[in-house]
Structure 1
Amino acid sequence: MRLSPLNLKILLNLFLVYISWGSTYIGFKFTLEVLGPFLACGSRMFLAGLLLCGVIICTGRWRRPSFADWRHACWLSVFMVVMASGFLGKGQEYVTSGVAAVITGSTPISMLVAAWLFGGERRPSAMQWLGLAGGLCGLALLGVSQNASGPEQSSPVGMFWVFGATLGWVAGSLLTRRFSLVTSLTALQSCGLLLLVGGLQTLLLGFACGEAAMTRWENLRPEVALAFAWMTIGGSIIAYSSYFWLLTHVSIATAVSYEYVVPVIGVLLGWRLGGEAITGRIVLACCLTVGSVFFVLWHKHNK
């Protein structure tokens, strides 16, 4: 059966989102060999924001941001860049990329509970409670998992930071809905401002934490440079652009389907490229978390 041009574009953008966000974790693993977590995140996001804004300017679609646009980007980036990405990098100093991928894959579970408790949405259904229970079991299994390669597999400190990253994304999403901004900017330009401001904030945090003095340039090698470049272009510009395009052309259930795929890609890339072991408990935790997200989102969007 021949696919229409629109369906081909949909499949291409889904593939780009899956690969781009799924490879962020292994990208952090390599980049942290040289840079501290906040400097790695800040430089990546700042460069991505510069490149994205530059492309918009070159295409003649740039609109001058108002003071309200800058103010909105400043507070929103604290949650969706500094926390969502910076905390993730900090957590990956203590846990493997596969564990980080599984934990962040539970973001829809945190979103469901937070929207019910603080966002005024209806109480979760029985099917969604089942998904919540499965997700909690998956996270608990990660917390007690052990691996012969070392204690980083299940460090509570690392899991705390990574879970904080998911809370940052959830808080930013809910606050965006509650304090929506009427703006003349396109969604892509707003994204560029968010990355630009958030990257600068995270860079300042990294310098304040003394990460500049801990930079290990002797560890710089082609694999690290390639990982950083891919995180900047793929994990930021391509992923966000493709995701925003999907939001305007497909159902929300299809657009957020990356939540099912990203944890699996993160675990597989950590094993294949990062030399991380995949234990039976990690596989079970991944299945529980991905399955719980399916119950939460499938029931919500089909209802």
Structure 2
Amino acid sequence: MVRFSPLTLKIMLNLFLVYVSWGSTYIGFKYTLEVLGPFLACGARMVLAGALLCAAIACAGRWQRPDRADCLHALWLGLFMVLMASGFLAKGQESVTSGVAAVVTGSTPISMLVAAWLFGGEQRPSAMQWLGLAGGLCGLILLGKSHGVSVGPDQSSAGGILWVFGATLGWVAGSLLTRRFPLSTRLGPLQSCGLLLCAGGLECLLTGFVGGEAAMTRWENLRPEVLLAFLWMSLGGSIIAYSCYFWLLAHASIATAVSYEYVVPVIGIFLGWWLGNEQVSGRMILACCLTVGSVFFVLWHKHNK
């Protein structure tokens, strides 16, 4: 009988929460972008999530007054991990399909491992990890093909692909900077996460207003499904996912933390079929199996070590 240590169980739980929370953002964006522009939708959800998280900490009596260094840290990290990682992705999904976005963001684990090896002081990825990364990328490509996705001009705009790729660069940079230059602070991890969400959300809102998104708001499309999607993205896609991800960065390897990139598109496809009445083909099921199976190879080396 296999016995897992308490730390391993915590890692598995946090991974599960990240998988489900961020896996639901695809269909969440599908609904919220019917009403709000991408940066306004991202900013509103992040500010709401950050405010709720900070309020909960204050009610629990654990609030610590942030100093200038804490605020500056939240502002510059919010540029990478909120404005770029989430805002750019939402902007890109205006002109590319979710399958194309999944294929592009699927390069994040490869970029993360290589960057961590070259700049983050991590060990060189093992052959088994490279095999898992390659398998996961193949699964994402097959997943995109099952949607009839083409990266040509007929189905996707070059600008949209660049926005999505910029989101992956922001996430890689923010994750590595968090590990390489950790902030010495009195604040707890949840309060730091709440400040990050508020700071990044305000940056997204400012970007949206400067970009004229307020004038393009379509309130006539507001309905219960849109409101429910927005609330869940604020709770699950922001509070739960970000808190669990930062915990993983502090207690697990880079390969483990970024393994969500392979599972999230699969969950997005399932929710699209279940809630969005999207078609699921045999090729899509095969792609899902290949994508999820690749996570085993990415995590296998770390588990045995």
TM-score by length of 1: 0.82
Aligned partner letter, 2:75: C
CA RMSD of aligned residues (A): 3.4
State the partner residue of 2:226: 224
Which consecutive unaligned segments of at least 5 residues does structure 2 have? 1-5
Q: CA deviation at 1:260?
A: 4.9
- After superposition, give the CA deviation of every residue in 1:70-97 in whole Å (9 maximum; x if it has no partner): 1111111111001111112112213344
CA contact (8 A) 1:31 1:227 kept: yes
Q: CA deviation at 1:293?
A: 4.0
Equivalent-residue separation in structure 1 for 2:111 and 2:288 (angstroms): 16
Aligned partner letter, 2:112: M
CA contact (8 A) 1:100 1:162 kept: yes
Matches within 5 A, 1:99-114: 99-101=100-102, 103-104=104-105, 106-114=107-115
Matches within 5 A, 1:235-254: 235-242=237-244
State the partner residue of 2:94: 93
* 1:179 maps to which of 155, 178, 181: 181
State the partner residue of 1:72: 73
Taking a change above 3 Å as real, the CA distance of residues 153 and 31 of structure 1, as seen in their structure-2 partners, is: farther
Q: CA deviation at 1:282?
A: 4.2
State the partner residue of 2:3: none
CA contact (8 A) 1:79 1:171 kept: yes
Equivalent-residue separation in structure 2 for 1:37 and 1:279 (angstroms): 29
TM-score by length of 2: 0.82
CA contact (8 A) 1:49 1:192 kept: yes
Equivalent-residue separation in structure 2 for 1:88 and 1:163 (angstroms): 8
Matches within 5 A, 1:149-164: 155=156, 157=158, 158-164=160-166
Aligned partner letter, 2:242: Y
State the partner residue of 1:211: 213
State the partner residue of 1:21: 22
Aligned partner letter, 1:94: S
- After superposition, give the CA deviation of every residue in 1:22-60 in whole Å (9 maximum; x if it has no partner): 211110110000111111001100111111111111111
| Matched length | 297
Aligned partner letter, 1:85: S
- After superposition, give the CA deviation of every residue in 1:258-286 in whole Å (9 maximum; x if it has no partner): 45542221110112222333345544544
Aligned partner letter, 1:184: R
* % identical equivalent positions: 76
State the partner residue of 2:122: 121
Matches within 5 A, 1:138-153: 138-141=139-142, 147=148
Equivalent-residue separation in structure 2 for 1:121 and 1:132 (angstroms): 16
State the partner residue of 1:276: 278
CA contact (8 A) 2:132 2:296 kept: yes
